[in-house]
Amino acid sequence: MSSEADEWMSPRKRFLSAVLGGRVDRPAAGSATSVATVEQMEQTGCFFPEAHYIPGKMAELASAAYEIIGFDCIMPYFSVWLEAAALGCRVNWGDKYRMPDGVSREGLGITDPSQFRVPEDFLYKPTTSALLEAIEILRRRYPNVAIVGKTMGPWTLCLHILGVKRTLIWSKIRKELLKEWIKLLKEVSIEFAKAQVKAGADAICWPDHATGDLVSAETYREFLLEVHREAVRRVGAPLILHICGDTVDRLPYIRETGFDCFHFDSKCGDPLKVRVIAGDRISLMGNINNPKTLLYGKPEDVMREAEHALEAGVNIVGPECAIPTRVTNENLKAIVKAAKQFRNKLSR
Amino acid sequence: MDESEFLNKIREAVVKGDIDGAREIAGEAIKAGVPALKLVNAMSSGMVEVGKLLESRVYFVAEVLVSAEAMSQALEVLKPYLSVEGTKKYRGRVVLGTVEGDIHDIGKSIVATLLQTAGFEVVDLGVDVPAERFIEKIREAKPDILGLSSLLTTSLPEIKKIVEKLKEEGLRDKVKVIVGGAAVTREFADEAGVDAYCLDAVEGVEICKKYVGG
């Protein structure tokens, strides 16, 4: 069995090295999306919905990923709504079992970009400032653990601000107008990312849900490839792209963006296939199935899937996306166990 | 242009998602004396084609929404010329909804559109629908089929809850229950005790047709 003494890297060094594709003492374990569960809420005394927007509770609940589960990173932004709320969208913050969601299907209800202004105090709004403060708290408390921030990319912000249906229809028939919105909202994503880095985040997760369930690979190329390249240049810190669903067809574009790491879904299929397409241009994070394996599987099922991901060359093993809050700590700990045992396998 | 050319053109406009084109062709065809009913059927056949393109991943949800919009705008033009009855064979009634805790409507709306196109009467309860509301509607509308959609893994337990409630209320054998959506798997559907799992909208429609006798 591996002992802690065999591990010569701090979780922070291990996670960052894995994100950047460098050498590691063993594979990293963790996630760039929420791993908060009801069990962790009960253990930390910090529950949803307060832990979505109260800095101390965000930090405390997020720290369970390291303290209780043993992951190499801590990520305190559990939902996808902090920026949208700061931009004026009404959000139903849910409860301890349910993730937040927008109140209106129409977003802000405006379509003309000239009618939209990013508030000057965007970074000081209750939700955005809460995340920045949570990151500051975590940075002070955990110098040796990777602190991961999160900023919604402009595509996801369009889904929130314009509504899903309108965004998708415009991607086919009002392309120039949608591009104008993306250009405008890209600035929100980049500025929020930079502020999180300044607050102490080591890396930033950039969810941008141009998924194979909604749009084609060509839509990704046309609307987002250049925007993502620009984000990589301007943010400067390590960036992790997250897109749910099957993204295999757009992976040849994603690997050209310069993102350091891609957090991918089990719907992509065998992680080996994803590694082959990604080549060595981008690190991989994921892709343990949520509904089947983590929620309803046993620890041994989780370990089996985690080992398979690691054998395929996934750099940071973890859930495919934000996990259902009813997942057990036991199942999450099995991911860390698999990562630790994998080192022994390599050295045998 | 003769009738068959109009019918081909309007079908093609729907398949390609040409919103302005579909509306214009509908207007011109009516002026040329093409029966509105035939135009609707041509568009419906276009939507079936769109469903197949979605299934084979040539189309994505974005393209389907544009095609559905093209059809719906052309229908606005045709409405005054249609006697609603008899446009297509009536197949049966389906109550549809996205379960409580989940507000995703696209997948469910596509299923609703395709079902209507196939001749079903659809009672769409919308999103975030509590189990009690489904039960209430089943009593009232007496549908042949109940369709449940769930995109979030967090709302999966709702499906089990609805099945349990149907049993408690003595309604389980009165209605076929089908489920679909990104969060649902075949294994989960078996475990939840529903009648069928639908991988996508097209399969959902085929299953519904089977339940009402083809």
**A164-211 confidence digits (pLDDT tens):** 889 999 999 999 999 999 999 999 999 999 999 999 999 999 999 999
What's the whole-model pTM score? 0.83
Chain A: give the shortest CA distance to residue B1, in Å. 27
- Nearest alpha-carbon partner for A308 in A290, A288, A327: A288
Cα distances (angstroms) measured from residue B180 to each of A278, B72, B141, B156: 31, 24, 21, 11
pLDDT of residue B85: 42
pLDDT of residue A106: 83
pLDDT of residue A3: 58
Chain A: give the shortest CA distance to residue B104, in Å. 9
**Which alpha helices (DSSP H) does B99-185 contain, by range?**
106-117, 131-141, 156-168
What mean pLDDT comes out for the span B168-194?
90
Residue B113 above 80 pLDDT? no
- CATH fold label, B92-211: Rossmann fold (3.40.50)
The single residue listed with the structure tokens 């276009």 is B46
d(CA A158, CA A182): 7
- Residues in B closer than 8 angstroms to A296, CB to CB, are 188
Q: Which residues of chain A have pLDDT under 50?
A: 1, 348
What mean pLDDT comes out for the span B109-123?
80
B3-81 belongs to which CATH class? Answer: mainly alpha
> Which CATH number describes the domain made up of A4-347?
3.20.20.210
- Residues in A closer than 8 angstroms to B19, CB to CB, are 173
Phi-psi region of A136 (alpha: psi -120 to 50; beta: other; left: phi over 0): alpha
Q: Pick A295's closest partner by Cβ from B101, B105, B153.
A: B153
Burial track B129-141 (b if 16+ CB lie within 10 A, e otherwise): bbbebbbebbeee
pLDDT of residue B105: 65
ipTM of the complex: 0.88
pLDDT of residue B81: 83
CATH 3.40.50.280 in chain B, residue ranges: 92-211
A117 by Cβ neighbours in 10 Å (0-12 / 13-18 / 19+) ranks as exposed
Q: Pick A214's closest partner by Cβ from B17, B19, B61.
A: B61
Residue B41's pLDDT band (boundaries 50, 70, 90)?
confident
d(CA A40, CA A25): 28
CATH 1.10.1240.10 in chain B, residue ranges: 3-81
The single residue listed with the structure tokens 């509308």 is B141
Write out the two tokens for A147. Answer: 């602190």
pLDDT of residue B88: 61
